[in-house]
Amino acid sequence: MPKVQVLDMSGKKTGEIELKDSVFGIEPNEQAMHLAVVNYLANQRQGTQSALTRAEVAGGGKKPWRQKGTGHARQGSTRAVQWTHGGIAFAPKPRDYRLSMNKKVRKLAILSALSDKVANEAFIVLDALTLETYKTKTVVETLANIGAAKKTLLVLADANPVLVNSARNIEGVTVSGVNTINTYDILNADSMVIVKDAVEKLEEVYAK
């Protein structure tokens, strides 16, 4: 079982924690992680783009000039695609970009991403992270004390509005819960900071 140091908010070592091999010690599956990232990014697309085709642009019913004898190319409407204020050729229309993904592959991707972070020593465990009031400065100081990277994923065991609102304005920091964690956020972060009780919940959920 991989072992990781447990730090307090000042950066001092308070102990060690053994991580389960089935969650944090598997051989990372690159294909599963790739599929998960593609799936996540595709599902973030809104697909609300829209433009008018030639048939949908108002006007243009009158032929701009006679068919022959003007020296101009023949034209049937001022709303053709080559005209200013004309329609758009192959105009984009609203569509759904969502992709589906097998649950077993999604789980394998998350376990692979977690194991990759542990193997690369980019996995930092905090014994606790508590704030009595909204204080972004405290979160910034804590991340600096424990040596977190600029791009950091902060994982909490439970929803904590005070902590979430204190950390959300820090550039490069993403806050996630155990129930909302995803492969893209794990891989996109240079370091992963997780509270000790969140580790236990992750093992409880994904060790099955």
> For residue 57, what are the domain limits?
47-96
**DSSP 8-state code for residue 21:** H
Same domain (yes/no): 85, 108: no
Task: Report, as an integer, the average pLDDT of 62-78.
Answer: 94
pTM: 0.83
Widest pairwise Cα distance in the chain = 92
165: pLDDT strictly greater than 90: no
CATH at 179:
3.40.1370.10
Residues 112 and 197 in one domain: yes
- Report the percent of the chain where pLDDT is more than 90: 68
* % of the chain residues with pLDDT over 70: 100
Interval 115-151: pLDDT, tens:
999 999 999 999 988 888 888 899 999 999 999 989 9
Regarding whether 187 and 107 lie in a shared domain, the answer is: yes
Q: Where are the alpha helices (DSSP H) in the chain?
A: 21-24, 30-44, 103-119, 136-145, 161-167, 183-188, 196-206
Count up the domains in the chain and report the number.
2
C-alpha distances in Å from residue 79, one per residue of 5, 94, 137: 68, 22, 58
The model's confidence at residue 208, banded by pLDDT at 50, 70 and 90, is low
**Model pLDDT for residues 195-206, shown as the tens digit of each residue:** 999 999 999 888
Are 87 and 109 part of one and the same domain? no
Whether the CB-CB separation of 183 and 37 falls below 8 Å is answered with yes
Residues 111 and 197 both lie in one domain: yes
Examine the domain organization and report whether 154 and 193 are in the same domain. Answer: yes
**Higher pLDDT pick, 3 / 86:** 86
For residues 29 and 131, membership in a common domain is answered with: yes
Q: Are residues 182 and 111 in the same domain?
A: yes
pLDDT-wise least confident of 9-13, 107-111, 157-161: 157-161
Is residue 175 domain-shared with residue 109, that is, in the same domain? yes
∠194-41-92 over CA atoms, to 5°?
160
Question: What is the mean pLDDT of the segment spanning 172-199?
Answer: 92
Are 83 and 120 within one domain?
no
pLDDT classification of 84: cutoffs 50, 70, 90 = very high
Co-location of 202 and 131 in the same domain: yes
Q: Is 123 helix (H, G, I), strand (E, B) or coil?
A: strand
- What is the average pLDDT across 83-98? 95
Q: What integer pLDDT is reported at residue 169 of this predicted model?
A: 86
CA distance 183 to 205: 15
115 shares its domain with 148: yes
